[in-house]
Amino acid sequence: MIVMKNISKIYSRGDKKVEALRSANLTVNQGEIFGIVGYSGAGKSTLLRCINMLERPTTGIVKIRDMEMTSLNDTQLQQARRKIGMIFQHFNLLSSSTVFMNVAAPLRLTNTPKKEIEKKVSELLNLVGLSEQASAYPSQLSGGQKQRVGIARSLANEPEILLCDEATSALDPETTDSILELLMAINRQLNLTIVLVTHEMNVIKKICDRVAVMEKGLIIEQGHVIDLFTRPQTPTAKKFISTIIDTQLPDKILEIVKNQSIPGLLARVGFVGDVGAAPLLANLSSQFHIQPNILYGNIIEVKNTICGSLIVNFIGQHDKILKVIRHLEKYGLQAEILLDVKQSEVITEKSFVERISV
């Protein structure tokens, strides 16, 4: 649906040049909700605005279906943008116009007949739950209602793509959830492709199918959201995940583990979906003569999928623990070795395997 290849964006500020995007590559599939997450200044909003050419890339290609957006002139772009809706953090409503008139504005610009406008606006206000506020003005609305007007307006020209630039950042948590529920409903009902920028992992967790993580103009990690939460690859992704899941073992418990006199390994065991980690662990004692001691755990829901991680102290011989880890992996669990308990040494699985293979 959307393909971005080697996108860079350089701004000139006096004698200085600022590289906002560096060789960004991204593919968004038809009908999915794709998230772009990063800290302030990472380049995520610039990348989003390159999709509809509100920011023209310095280099690179943007394609929507078979249309190369980067090759269009201003007139062609104006036509192409009608199929790309956009909503903003601060709503951008016309303060002197009613809710009805705000939603009707894009249709008036295309000279849509009055009867069609009335029918379309009524349908959209019903879709976003604002039929009774049609004659109200923006100053009379709550923040959530204003954003619903913005969403209705963005859908007026029946777009194929909806771009959301920090659309929930100005809203309280309860209102944010209601807006996210609305976006998911629109995605399902209209098969609308949604690309959203955010710095809030709760937004990514709740509605996104896939996600890209940005840092200093680079896309440093991307993939399915469930993979990001269960197997983050970069320090920045891990920091974002830690705002949702506390993956660090409390120091008090870690100190107790380090002081035990019997051999063992500390590991993080991750699971996704209906894989039951606890029953599998409970059966290890009789099967492998290993004692698994669950020290800490987190369970969350990522877009209707349950996932979580357990910090487990496997007490026993190292070669048997390695067999246990391979056994767990066969059942879809992911095990990451964190610490050699007896040596109080942080190790990797590679070094662990090399050690016991000698």
Question: In this predicted model, what pLDDT tens digit does every residue of 202-234 receive, in sequence order?
Answer: 999 999 999 999 999 999 999 999 888 888 889
- Residue 3: is its pLDDT beyond 50? yes
Q: Report how far apart, in Å, the C-alpha atoms of 91 and of each of 196, 223, 275 are.
A: 15, 29, 42
Asked if 57 contacts 20 with a C-beta cutoff of 8 angstroms, the reply is no
Hey, what CATH topology would domain 251-357 get?
Answer: Alpha-Beta Plaits (3.30.70)
Task: Write down the pLDDT at residue 312.
Answer: 86
Q: Report how far apart, in Å, the C-alpha atoms of 292 and of each of 100, 253, 267, 285, 313 are.
A: 62, 15, 10, 7, 6
d(CA 54, CA 46): 9
Task: Write down the pLDDT at residue 356.
Answer: 34
d(CA 327, CA 339): 19
Are 2-242 and 251-357 equal in CATH topology?
no
Instruction: Please state the rounded mean pLDDT for residues 232-241.
Output: 90
Q: Report how far apart, in Å, the C-alpha atoms of 106 and of each of 103, 109, 154 are.
A: 7, 5, 8
Task: Write down the pLDDT at residue 247.
Answer: 64
Task: Supply φ then ψ for residue 203, to 5 degrees.
Answer: -65, -45
**Domain coordinates of the chain in residue numbers?**
2-242, 251-357
In sequence order, the β-bridge partners of residue 211 are 35, 223
Question: Could you give the residue ranges of the DSSP H alpha helices within 161-283?
Answer: 173-190, 201-207, 225-230, 235-242, 251-258, 277-282
* Residue located via tokens 């996104």: 208
d(CA 56, CA 58): 6
Edge-first strand listing for the sheet containing 16-28: 16-28, 2-13, 59-64, 67-68
Task: Write down the pLDDT at residue 344.
Answer: 47
Question: In this predicted model, what pLDDT tens digit does every residue of 64-111 receive, in sequence order?
Answer: 998 999 999 999 999 999 999 999 888 899 999 999 999 999 999 989
CATH of 2-242, one of 2.60.120.560, 3.40.50.300, 3.40.50.2300, 3.30.300.130: 3.40.50.300
- Residue 134: is its pLDDT beyond 60? yes
- Residue 357: is its pLDDT beyond 60? no
- Residue 278: is its pLDDT beyond 70? no
